[in-house]
């Protein structure tokens, strides 16, 4: 998930979601930057958030100041070039404008996709 930049420092990608399927996602604030993570193998939103913290700790930063802003689900259909963001997290909830911000970020990484959202569903 991480990559090196020109100065050989480890970067944390802004967006990482699984390439296909339906799964939970979280939106995280770290250093005043919003990060999106969607991981199939995590049964709970908290698992995705904890994976993100471990990702940062691998760079040498211990106990990073992060905040999980909310969560939901993503339905990723690569063949149809569709991504649907919806629902909420029982653990972290959903804040006003969360899915809109998630869609805004996803559009930067998937510019050819139809990306929509809804507050409906779980």
Cα gap 26→52, rounded to integer Å = 10
C-beta separation of 68 from 25 below 8 A: no
Q: Which of 23, 25, 36, 45 is catalytic?
A: 45
The Cα 56–Cα 122 span in angstroms is 28
Assess whether 45 carries a catalytic annotation: yes
Instruction: Record the tokens describing residue 96, joined without a space.
Output: 């006003």
Question: Catalytic residue numbers?
Answer: 45
């Amino acid at each position: 998930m991480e990559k090196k930049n020109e100065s050989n420092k480890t970067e944390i990608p802004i967006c990482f979601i699984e390439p296909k399927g339906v799964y939970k996602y979280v939106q995280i604030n770290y250093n005043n930057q919003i990060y999106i993570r969607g991981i199939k193998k995590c049964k709970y939103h908290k698992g995705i958030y904890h994976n993100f913290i471990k990702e940062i700790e691998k760079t040498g930063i211990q106990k990073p100041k992060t905040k999980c802003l909310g969560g939901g689900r993503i339905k990723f259909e690569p063949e149809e070039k569709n991504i649907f963001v919806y629902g909420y997290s029982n653990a972290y909830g959903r804040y006003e404008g969360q899915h809109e911000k998630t869609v805004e970020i996803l559009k930067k990484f998937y510019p050819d996709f139809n990306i929509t959202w809804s507050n409906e569903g779980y």
